[in-house]
Amino acid sequence: MNTVLTVDGVDRSFGERQVLKDVSFTVAAGRLTGFVGANGAGKTTTMRIILGVLAADAGTVTWRGEPLDRGIRQRFGYMPEERGLYPKMSVLEQIVYLGRLQGLGAAEARDRTMALLERLELAGRADDHVQKLSLGNQQRAQIAAALVHDPELLVLDEPFSGLDPLAVDNVVAVLRERAAAGAAVLFSSHQLDVVERLCDDLVIIADGTIRAAGDRAALREQYALPRYAIEVGADAGWLRDLPGVTLVDLDGRNAVFDLDSGSDQDVLRAALDRGPVHAFGPVRPSLAEIFREVVQ
Ligand SMILES: Nc1ncnc2c1ncn2[C@@H]1O[C@H](COP(=O)(O)OP(=O)(O)OP(=O)(O)O)[C@@H](O)[C@H]1O
């Protein structure tokens, strides 16, 4: 994996209260990393430290092994939690202006802004003042502002909050395109269903401590219980009496069970002895289940 951003041993306190404790994780280019945690867990504080808006008390953040400086941070795009567009400027003017601040030429800033607004289905509102837009459209404008200079690292604080499902799909597609083009994308969210669908890697934080981090599929594997689902041709109630099996759910021909001892193949054979088996396989935990388990 092509790790580009490394957060290593970061501590941060506000007054007496330590809100980040030895926070370490990595973000890879070409991948979407979901940063998940309850309200107040420390996501925004971590992101602000990555962006240099806030200093760490201890620990380091490095980009391709180098300490961050202004030049490197210019290659980052940030969508902060407190949305900060000027209400009385048009969407187009504003994003062009932000692109110019990031070093783009006038024509390039305009071209990129128009292409982004088109892609985010906001081109029809380009000349409207930001304050006239719905909250969802203001959010899309914020996302365009974070993307306009084609950053190598995108840091997005709750980019999906307040978006309807179609808008979520649109933004997801845009972020995927950025990752496919080689950008590293770190986004926070408390919408576990969206994170589950979207991210390649996961970082789970609770009370300022990283509880789990890594490839989403590997984490699902790591936290998997010996749980199986089966669909047979007739009532599956006989599973109740099979040694080593604890039924979790039984619905006629479908059952979910935990295997406390013995082999899954023995259960499959027992099922085949009784008739046809239409489906049989392990059940991987959902992100919500992993989250519940690691934040306890
Ligand atoms: N400037 C500050 N001064 C004092 N406390 C702060 C400050 N910023 C954040 N905190 C506290 O630090 C903790 C972590 O906050 P942070 O905003 O990083 O969490 P979060 O995971 O982003 O939560 P949310 O999803 O609610 O935004 C919270 O208890 C918050 O009250």
Tell which of 183, 203, 221 closes a domain.
Answer: 221
Instruction: Say if ligand 1 is within 6 A of residue 138 CB.
Output: no
Do residues 12 and 74 both lie within one domain?
yes
Local confidence pLDDT in tens for the 296 residues of the chain: 799 999 999 999 999 999 999 999 999 999 999 999 988 999 999 999 999 999 999 999 999 999 998 889 989 999 988 777 888 889 999 999 999 988 899 999 999 999 999 999 999 999 999 889 888 899 999 999 999 999 999 999 999 988 888 999 999 999 999 999 999 999 999 888 888 888 999 999 999 999 999 999 888 888 878 899 999 999 999 999 999 999 999 999 999 999 988 899 999 999 999 999 999 999 888 888 888 888 87
Closest by CA position to 6, among listed 68, 57, 69, 61: 61
CA of residue 245 to ligand 1 center, whole Å: 45
Domain that holds residue 254: 224-295
pLDDT of residue 130: 87
Q: Output the pLDDT for position 293.
A: 84
Rounded CA separation 49/23 (Å): 11
CATH number of 263's domain? 3.30.70
Residues 27 and 44 in one domain: yes
Any idea what the CATH number is for the domain that residue 74 is in?
Answer: 3.40.50.300
* 13 Cβ below 6 A of ligand 1: no
Domain C-terminal end among 194, 221, 248: 221
> Which of 175, 190, 221 is the last residue before a domain boundary?
221
Q: How far is the CA of 192 from the centre of ligand 1 (A)?
A: 20
Q: Is the CB of 86 within 6 Å of ligand 1?
A: no
Give, using CA atoms, the residue closest to atom 4 of ligand 1: 14
Q: What is the pLDDT of residue 102?
A: 86
ipTM score here? 0.95
Do residues 213 and 271 share a domain? no
Looking at the structure, tell me whether residues 173 and 241 fall in a common domain.
no
Residue 40 in contact with ligand 1 by CB distance below 6 A:
yes
On whether both 208 and 235 belong to a single domain, the answer is no
Assess whether 18 and 59 both reside in one domain.
Answer: yes
Count Cβ atoms below 10 Å from residue 221 Cβ, excluding itself: 12
Q: Indicate if 186 and 109 belong to the same structural domain.
A: yes
Ligand 1 centroid to residue 45 C-alpha, Å: 6
* CB distance 37 to ligand 1 below 6 Å: yes
Ligand 1 center from residue 53 Cα (angstroms): 14
Domain count, the chain: 2
Q: Within this chain, do residues 80 and 214 fall inside the same structural domain, yes or no? A: yes
What is the pLDDT at residue 70? Answer: 86
Q: Which residue has a Cα nearest atom 3 of ligand 1?
A: 14
| CB 81 near ligand 1, within 6 Å | yes
Q: Is 12 in the pocket of ligand 1 (CB under 6 A)?
A: no
What is the number of the ligand 1 atom nearest to the C-alpha of 41? 21
145 in the same domain as 278: no
Together in a domain, 131 and 260: no
**18 with 174: CB under 8 angstroms?**
no
Are 53 and 179 within one domain?
Answer: yes
* Phi, psi angles (nearest 5°) of residue 24: -135, 135
Question: Closest ligand 1 atom, CA of 44?
Answer: 22
Residue-level pLDDT at 289:
84
Tell how far the Cα of 108 is from the centroid of ligand 1, in angstroms. 37
- The reply to whether 126 and 232 lie within a common domain is no
Distance from the CA of 76 to the center of ligand 1, in angstroms? 22
